Structure 1
Amino acid sequence: MKTNRFLMLLKTRGALTSASIAKELGITNEGARLQLLKYTEEGLVSSFNESTGVGRPKQFFNLTEDGHAKFPDTHAELTVKLIAGMRDALGDEALQKVIDVTEQAGKQRYFEELEPLADLEDRIAKLAEIRTREGYMAEYSKDESGYLLVENHCPICAAAKTCQGFCTAELNVFKHVLGEAVSIHRMDHIVSGDRRCAYRIAKIED
């Protein structure tokens, strides 16, 4: 089954009520409930009740593990086997060398696209564009604290869970291409069980 707009909305927005989904997709509440019931029966969506203030608790829907699996993890099984095989045959040091090479290649590749951009927001926007192109479903927003870069999907999740050195390398790449005058803090992490990876980005004040 191809991913559709219901699953995509839950993937990018997190838990939502059926009314919110209906409004976002421009359909009736009943239509949204019927689709959500179907996906619940298929094991792609689950629900929970949460109090949001006065009145009865509201029912929220989110993706299950099987629902998230509808968004591809690039060559997941093969990647995990290769990592395990390399670690067993050559040791952790050799695996780290591979990660280091990947990190350096990422720094060079991203820097070539970001280097012409002087404005921080332009650089973050370009970084989000690159990451989306690579399958991370990235987006950013600006607020009084700076910027929030969000990746709603991780196409290398299986590899990252097997070896979190890949996540460390990605964060190092971000720090390198955005510049020394910028602070980057990972707030949410898919590998740790969060729905998304999120990074708080801000200029370092003199």
Structure 2
Amino acid sequence: MKNSLPDHERAVWYLKTEGAKTVKALANSMDITVEGARFHLMKLEKEGLVKSESVAEGRGRPKQLWSLTQKGHNRFPNAHADLTVDLIDMMRQTLGQEALDQVIAANESRTLERYQEELEGVEEVEKRVKKLAEIRSNEGYMAEYEESGDGFLLVENHCPICDAAEVCQGFCRAELSIFREVLGEDVEVNREEHIIKGARRCAYKISVLD
């Protein structure tokens, strides 16, 4: 997908999925010249989509790192954010927290069933993680995975329900529960980074048990 985007949009994509970068690092990711990367960053800065800051790392000149502003993050869809938040608040006020919890549990059950169907017959742990990342990407989470220590790291670079999760963290609890269920009893799944707690991404450590 990213390779089909215009260069300035690709720059936004890389800053979203890989985090803050120097001009040179961004140029390497995009496979363009440093001058070209700088041109795109200047354009994006004028649009309010990126910002830069100087970061000191030991001796020598500070590095200038570029990252997305909130406006830049908002370029990625947050599914019906305002409506969802309003509905959550209305349900909590009119029906109570218990009713809201029941709705979240019902959604968790339905999602779990759907994921189990899509993962049916996939036995190898890595293939299950890969398939789960594909499912989540198709749902807008910009998910990917990589090998990490004794297992894998499942990364979600975007959360399309972030606003809803901020006002009702039951969604995040349900998400972790679903991952643990569909990936099986032979792995341990723990959330190590969390967008709504200020991290750039959500990241799940998946350890293969002996």
Aligned 8 A contact 2:150 2:208 in 1:
no
Match of 2:103 among 95, 98, 102: 98
Identify the match of residue 121 of structure 1 among 126, 129, 149.
126
Residue 57 of structure 1, CA deviation: 1.3
Say which is worse superposed, 160-169 or 142-151, in terms of deviation.
142-151
Q: Give runs of aligned pairs for residues 148-167 of structure 1, distance below 5 A.
A: 148-167=153-172
Q: Give the stretch that moved more between structures: 21-30 or 196-205.
A: 21-30
Cα distance in 1 between the residues matched to 2:207 and 2:116 = 19
CA–CA separation in structure 2 for the residues paired with 1:19 and 1:151: 25
Corresponding residue pairs, total: 204
Shift of 1:35: 1.7
Aligned counterparts, 1:43-62, within 5 A: 43-62=48-67
CA distance in 2, matches of 1:46, 1:85: 36
What residue in structure 2 maps to residue 23 of structure 1?
A: 28
The aligned counterpart of 1:107 is 112
What is the CA–CA distance in structure 2 between the aligned matches of 1:166 and 1:24, rounded to whole Å?
33
- 1:32 is paired with a residue whose SS is helix
Which 4+ stretches in 1 moved above 6 angstroms? none
CA offset digits 1:52-106 (Å, max 9, x no partner):
4552111010011111000010000110111011011101000000000011011
Give the aligned partner of residue 72 of structure 2: 67
CA distance in 1, matches of 2:57, 2:22: 11
State the match for 1:88 in structure 2. Answer: 93
Gaps of 5+ in 1: none
In the alignment, does 2:142 pair up with 1:134? no
Matched, 1:168 2:182: no
> Taking structure 2 as the reference length, what is the TM-score of the superposition?
0.93
Unaligned ranges ≥5, structure 2: 1-5
Q: What is the identity, as a one-letter code, of the residue corresponding to 1:113?
A: E
Q: For structure 1, which segment, 17-26 or 94-103, has the greater mean C-alpha deviation from structure 2 after superposition? A: 17-26
Residue 191 (structure 2) pairs with residue 179 (structure 1): no
| One-letter code aligned to 1:17 | T
CA–CA distance in structure 2, aligned partners of residues 23 and 72 of structure 1 = 27
Q: Which amino acid aligns with 1:70?
A: R
Kept after mapping to 1: 8 A contact 2:141/2:159: yes
- Give the counterpart letter for 1:184 in structure 2: V
Work out the CA distance in 2 between the residues paired with 1:31 and 1:127: 36
- Which letter does structure 1 place at the counterpart of 2:175? E
Structure 1 residue 147 corresponds to structure 2 residue 152: yes
Identity of aligned residues (%): 53
